[in-house]
């Protein structure tokens, strides 16, 4: 039933006259996720070859108006919790089982943690959530984990910990070469791995991976094998030192991508690629919930 939902196939980061806040019904959330776009300027420190954001065109919004963002969030929370959202034409066909507010997600057109004073906006959103009695609603961060080491981001992660937070960190590969081919960034691969390791020592963390064919060539050994060259189940069965089980699951999507040679300012038109020749199949599975981060990442 849910696989055929039109809301699953279209996730616009726009809604009515809003600039920053938008609702989606996603497979990830199993219900309604309220997205917060902290990067309407399209700023991102990665240039992933599969990214849907067209950075060849000028961004219409350069700066985030914090007051307007929070006002949009207030209005969206009212729509979602009152049920009025599902009276709107684009949400009227959502099944009853999915008419639930699952989370507020920091996502959008770039890397959300690059937002100036990221910890302050996370604190403001968490405060609104609690004041409305929505403690069960998650605060989700969808991120490339590249700047977890910065103090403001560290503070933000601790705020997430106190307010039913959940981190989805992207990690498509286990090798430096493949990482550079996919992410096209100056951020060192080892920094990303270390940031994920350190974060997972403190809280549960979900890896989100996109396993793709590039120019017709699949990942070496298949998607999950390129991420985990050795199966942790065969090498390790428990915790490592003081770590709690950190990496809970992996969301994996298989796609075919035609590699483009554009520079950073002109990323590939992935939307057109999908219409032309992307074969898409998705699968989500639980991946070693009992294995701590250090034990998992030692296989890279």
Write out pLDDT tens, residues 174-221.
889 899 999 999 999 999 999 999 999 999 899 988 888 888 887 765
Looking at per-residue pLDDT, the higher value among 156 and 261 belongs to 156
Provide, rounded to the nearest whole percent, the portion of the chain with pLDDT above 90: 44
pLDDT at residue 174, rounded to an integer: 85
- SS3 for 250? strand
Place of tokens 């286990």: 174
- Contact predicate 32/50, CB 8 Å: no
pLDDT over 90 (residue 104) = yes
Contacts of 21 (CB under 8 A, 6+ apart): 15, 34, 35, 36, 37, 69, 72, 73, 75, 76
pLDDT tens profile 145-178: 999 999 999 999 999 999 999 999 999 888 898 9
Confidence of residue 236 (pLDDT cuts 50, 70, 90): very low
- Alpha-carbon distance of 115 to 67, in angstroms, equals 15
User: Which DSSP string do the residues of 255-271 spell out, in sequence order?
Assistant: EEE------TTS---HH
Domains parsed from the chain with CATH numbers: 2-297 (3.20.20)
pLDDT over 50 (residue 278) = no
pLDDT at residue 60, rounded to an integer: 64
- Alpha-carbon distance of 192 to 37, in angstroms, equals 22
pLDDT at residue 6, rounded to an integer: 55
Residue from 216, 190, 207 nearest 284 by CA = 207
Residue 149: C-alpha distances to residues 44, 114, 197, 199, 213 (Å): 17, 12, 11, 9, 31
pLDDT over 70 (residue 124) = yes
- Alpha-carbon distance of 53 to 48, in angstroms, equals 10
- Contact predicate 245/292, CB 8 Å: yes
- Alpha-carbon distance of 82 to 62, in angstroms, equals 32
212 token code pair? 């793709």
pLDDT over 80 (residue 62) = no
pLDDT at residue 216, rounded to an integer: 83
Residue 148, φ and ψ in degrees, nearest 5: -60, -25
pLDDT tens profile 25-49: 887 778 899 999 999 888 889 989 8
pLDDT over 50 (residue 300) = no
- Contact predicate 49/95, CB 8 Å: no
Strand-pairing partners, residue 247, are 205
pLDDT tens profile 71-87: 999 999 999 999 999 99
pLDDT at residue 173, rounded to an integer: 86
């Amino acid at each position: 039933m849910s696989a055929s939902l039109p809301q699953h196939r279209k996730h616009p980061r726009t809604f009515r006259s809003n600039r920053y806040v938008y609702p989606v019904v996603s497979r990830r959330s199993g219900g309604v996720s309220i997205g917060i776009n902290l990067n309407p300027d399209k700023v991102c420190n990665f240039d992933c070859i599969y990214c849907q954001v067209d950075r060849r065109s000028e961004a219409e919004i350069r700066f985030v108006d914090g007051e307007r963002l929070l006002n949009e969030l207030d209005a969206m929370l009212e729509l979602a919790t009152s049920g009025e959202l599902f009276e709107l034409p684009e949400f009227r066909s959502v099944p009853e089982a999915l008419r639930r507010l699952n989370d507020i997600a920091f996502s959008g057109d770039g890397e959300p943690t690059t937002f100036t004073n990221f910890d302050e906006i996370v604190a403001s959103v968490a405060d609104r959530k609690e004041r409305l009695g929505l403690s069960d609603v998650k605060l989700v961060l969808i991120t490339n984990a590249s700047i977890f080491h910065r103090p403001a981001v560290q503070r933000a992660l601790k705020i997430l910990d106190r307010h039913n937070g959940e981190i989805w960190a992207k990690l498509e590969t286990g090798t430096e070469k493949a990482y550079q081919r996919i992410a096209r960034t100056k951020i060192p691969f080892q920094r990303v791995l270390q940031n994920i390791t350190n974060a997972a020592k403190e809280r549960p963390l979900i890896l989100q991976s996109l396993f793709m064919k590039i120019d017709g060539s699949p990942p070496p050994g298949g998607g999950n094998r390129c991420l985990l060259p050795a199966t942790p189940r065969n090498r390790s069965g428990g915790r490592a030192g003081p770590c709690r089980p950190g990496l809970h699951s992996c969301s994996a999507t298989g796609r075919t991508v035609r590699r483009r040679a554009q520079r950073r300012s002109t990323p590939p038109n992935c939307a057109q690629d999908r219409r032309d020749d992307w074969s898409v199949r998705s699968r989500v599975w639980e991946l070693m919930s009992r294995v701590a981060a250090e034990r998992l990442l030692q296989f890279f």
